[in-house]
Amino acid sequence: MASTAPTPSVHASGDAGALKNPVSKAATEISLVAPPVHRAVQEGMARGPRNRLPPLHTIILPVLGMAVWLGIGKVGLEPVALVLAAVLLGNVIAAVHHAEVVAIRVGEPFGTLILALAVTVIEVGLIISIMLSGTPNPALVRDSVHAVVMLVLHGLAGLCIVVGAFRQRETEFRVEGANAFLAVLLPMAVLVLVLPNYLVSVPGPFYSPRQLYFVSAACLGLYIAFLFIQTNWHRAFFLPVGEDGDAMEHARPSGRLVLASLALLPVALLSVVLLAKSLAPALEAGMAAAGAPPAIVGLIIAVIVLLPETTAAVRAASRNRLQASINLSLGSAVACIGLTVPTVAFVSSWIDQPLELGISAGATVLMALGFAVAMITYGTGRTNLLSGIVHLVLLATYVFTILAP
């Protein structure tokens, strides 16, 4: 529309919109540190009242998962296993969606806790289902955690940096936030994956029961401390560069939508656990038939767990929001070790199954190189295409060394 009246300034129009909009400034600031998947959910809710129920596929898949598990049960290496695998992946995505809806409603820091717990339940469910089915695999936790760390450090980070570089030659982020993630992730990884090889209480890459309890408590304590810093004292470290509390406003989900997600979330999580248990024999048979090394199982679990976060992080990077991608990717690795390891350690003690945690010398060198490269990448506040390519090459090296140790 053409008009001869003077155009109001951006600040003035922003203030006026803030006065008319019932969403509080505090809720707006919470949305800025939420992962980009949160933003997608929020933007969908802000379009209008038609989003009164969750998307249809997030309603059907959890019920379908339970029905498939009841009707089929355990499967071997047969075509129906592909159907179960597809339903399992769908339930992973549905569970994360419902957790995000609830997280937006309750706000931080409880929203972050809900998301982390949902993803942890998925990972723990996958690991324990395979641990309790078929031949015991004491190295499964080690392989899964190691795979998550390497996929996050190199695969997810490299992909997001490359995507961001194609949009803008150099992308920016907050050094303080990235360094905070690395400061917690590095000692966690060393405590869980490296230190067992150098202690003498128990021979081999194992912890004694007391040592395992201590390391589990240390990882959990580090995660709780990091969560407090991220959501309270230093929230500004994790805000996207150039944004403040008035940058974007979103409506919270309706009570009806939250109640529906609360009801469907445990169904989706239970479906993931039960379907993983059904697929365990097929997975073991497939690995044996292909002659694949056992560590591939841990890599598959890590890929399934990181699938929703990968989609959201890449989408954020394509929108020139690398900080949001860093929050989501590195946050997934921190939550994986800080919550999954203590939970699985408790279960392993309960079922009296030892955990083989220490990685090989070659894997230790590669992981140390990965952290060194990550420190260089996140040490300047700016990245470019070369940094992304370096991380992707290191990811390819990690996968190659699994297939050809």
Per-residue pLDDT at 367 exceeds 90? yes
Per-residue pLDDT at 400 exceeds 90? yes
pLDDT in tens, 332-364: 788 888 888 898 888 888 888 888 899 999 999
Per-residue pLDDT at 42 exceeds 60? no
Per-residue pLDDT at 39 exceeds 60? no
**The pLDDT of residue 186:** 92
**The pLDDT of residue 291:** 77
Residue for token pair 């355990």:
74
**The pLDDT of residue 187:** 93
pTM of the predicted protein model: 0.75
Q: Regarding predicted confidence, which is higher, 76 or 127? A: 127
Confidence band of 113 (pLDDT split at 50, 70, 90) = low
How many residues comprise the chain? 405
* DSSP β-bridge partners for residue 332: none
Confidence band of 397 (pLDDT split at 50, 70, 90) = very high
Quickly list DSSP for 62-73.
Answer: HHHHHHHHHHH-
> Which residues neighbour 144 within 8 Å (Cβ) at sequence distance 6 or greater?
123, 126, 127, 298, 301, 302, 340
Per-residue pLDDT at 22 exceeds 70? no
pLDDT in tens, 268-315: 888 887 887 788 778 777 877 777 787 888 888 888 878 777 777 787
Give the mean pLDDT of 82-95: 85
Ordered by where they begin, the domains of the chain are 24-403 (1.20.1420.30)
- Give the residue ranges of DSSP H helices in 107-156: 110-131, 140-150
What whole-number distance in Å separates Cα of residue 282 and Cα of residue 76?
A: 4
**CA-based nearest residue to 339, from 200, 227, 183, 207:** 227
Task: Report whether 43 contacts 315 (CB < 8 A).
Answer: no
Confidence band of 12 (pLDDT split at 50, 70, 90) = very low
Residue 45 exposure: Cα atoms within 13 Å on the Cβ side: 27
**The pLDDT of residue 247:** 42
**The pLDDT of residue 30:** 39
What whole-number distance in Å separates Cα of residue 24 and Cα of residue 85?
A: 42
**The pLDDT of residue 243:** 56
Per-residue pLDDT at 45 exceeds 60? no
pLDDT in tens, 133-181: 666 778 888 998 999 999 988 888 888 888 888 877 777 777 787 888 8
The mean-pLDDT minimum among 39-48, 179-188, 376-385 falls in 39-48
